[in-house]
Structure 1
Amino acid sequence: MEETTLSLLGKKTEYPQDYAPEVLEAFNNKHPEMDYWVRFNCPE
């Protein structure tokens, strides 16, 4: 997937209250040999 296919990044988003996988976008990892640690803070 090319980065130019991202359509939601940087735009105003309506956040659904239910599970909605269609709002997730993905892109190819340019450095698959690297390990990454990602942390999401989601206070309720």
Structure 2
Amino acid sequence: MSYLFAAYMVIWILLSGYLVILGKRQQKINKEIEFIRELENTQ
């Protein structure tokens, strides 16, 4: 039973880490989009 709990925790840790990475990528993409919009407005 302890193996099941350990596997369950590993899955949740990996999923949480993946979601954090996706969130950081999304923030980077949003910053790039905002930068492109600012460049577009200055022209």
TM-score tier by shorter-chain length is under 0.3
More helix by share: 2
TM-score normalized by structure 2? 0.18
TM-score, L = length of structure 1: 0.18
More relative contact order in 1 or in 2 (CA 8 Å, sep 6+)?
1
